[in-house]
Amino acid sequence: MNWSNESPSDTCRFKELYETFTENMINHNLEILVKIPTRNNNNNNILLTNIPRHVHETKTLPGLGTSDHDIEFHEIKVKRGGIKQNPRQVKSYKKANWSGLKKDGHFH
């Protein structure tokens, strides 16, 4: 696969598979952010996203030990999710006006 122009290479054995993959990327508005080689002259890893502005940095680092694979480094802005709850009232019984409540007939 030639990631710089997002098309299968002329010698690709699985050309139809890569064309389908590329078509699905386009249909789902996905963009490839790693277009540099990660092993020799090949790009074996990809990072797909539909929000490229959240990826602040993408680079490769030298492989560990005797590995011929480079390490991909991505700095991505991630918004932690969660259910937003509305504030709730918590009654403080210590601060209640008990004598006023009794006087008004709320308690017998």
Residue 44: Cβ within 10 Å count: 12
φ/ψ (deg, to 5) at 40: 55, -120
Q: What is the pLDDT of residue 108?
A: 61
Q: What distance in Å separates the CA atoms of residue 27 and residue 97, rounded to the nearest whole number?
A: 65
What are the residue ranges spanned by the domains of the chain? 1-78
Q: What is the pLDDT of residue 79?
A: 79
pTM over 0.95: no
Residue 94 three-state SS:
helix
Q: What distance in Å separates the CA atoms of residue 21 and residue 10, rounded to the nearest whole number?
A: 16
| 32: CB partners within 8 A, 6+ apart | 3, 6, 25, 46, 47, 48
Structure confidence by residue, pLDDT tens digits, 20-64: 988 898 899 998 877 666 777 666 677 888 888 888 888 888 888
